[in-house]
Amino acid sequence: MLKKIRGYINKGFKFLYRNRGYFILALIAAIIILSAYEYYGQYFHELKNPKRIKKIVLSYGQYSVFAFLGLQVIQVIAFFIPGEVIQIAGGYIYGAFIGGLLTLLGITIGSAIVYIVSRAYGKPFIRKIISEKHFTFFDKLLRLGSIKYVVLLLYLIPGIPKDVLGYICGISDISFKDFIVYSTIGRIPGIFISAYFGSRMYSGHKGALIAIAVIMSLLFIVGVFKGEKIVKLMIKKEQ
């Protein structure tokens, strides 16, 4: 009887091991679905307002920094969460420099997790969570030239869905080290501009903030509609 039970247990473990990718995929999907439910059901309005984000983060007291870092990591992994507002909130809560650094750290950690998960479970996994439009768009761009240079440009240009790009990079030819280095460098200008904006948004200096908002909005629109052409043009010049 004991031998039969052990046999069933061993078969169960072997089955779990052989299909571990599917179980982890199901677990990740469940986490994303639950996060989406919590996000849309409870925190949708809060995460669109820096003041409300500040209230949520500071409610953790001495652990507020870790709460903010965790929020940044989550918004990278669950790419449907609007990261720009959280970046602005970082500057509003901690100031332009510290807020920018914390945002950069949290986003880098989140990007590393995204890359590792994507690399581990490959293209079939990515096709299940990324739209075919984004997959085709980035897959084509990453093949245009030096992948390190292309990744740097894509993370530098506003309007490019960067958190989605992290999943695509995980199944590309770029190494983990190069991905972290070039994606982080590309994110720096946008993150610190957002943090500066957040640190000044309630200070009364409306003229400068309006100018920054207008410029960033225009750059974002250009990136959305002309990002692919800009990348191709820059690669041609480099070559």
Q: Mean pLDDT by 10-residue block, N- to C-terminus, for the chain (239 residues)?
A: 59 61 59 53 57 86 91 84 83 92 94 89 82 79 78 81 84 91 91 86 63 58 53 54
186, 125 Cβ separation under 8 angstroms? no
Q: Which of 123, 120, 172, 121 is nearest to 145 (CA)?
A: 172
Separation CA 87–CA 187 (nearest Å): 11
Q: What is the pLDDT of residue 83?
A: 77
Give me the residue label for tokens 């690669």.
Answer: 235
CA dist., res. 42 & res. 77, Å (int): 19
Q: How many CB atoms lie within 10 A of CB 149?
A: 16
What's the pLDDT at 15? 62
- For the chain, how far is it from start to end, CA to CA, in angstroms? 71
CB 147 within 8 A of CB 58: no
Query: What pLDDT shows up at residue 12?
Result: 62
Produce one character per residue of 155-184: b if its CB has 16 or more CB atoms within 10 Å, e if not: bbbbbbbbbbbbbbbbbbebeeeebbbbbb
Exposure string over 200-213, b if 16+ CB within 10 A, otherwise e: bbeeeeeeebeebe
Tell me what pLDDT residue 190 has. 87
Residue 231: predicted pLDDT: 56
The pLDDT value recorded for residue 44 is 47
pLDDT at 102: 96
Reported pTM: 0.72
Could you give the angle at which helices 162-169 and 96-129 cross, rounded to 10 degrees? 60
Number of H-type helices and E-type strands within the chain? 11, 0
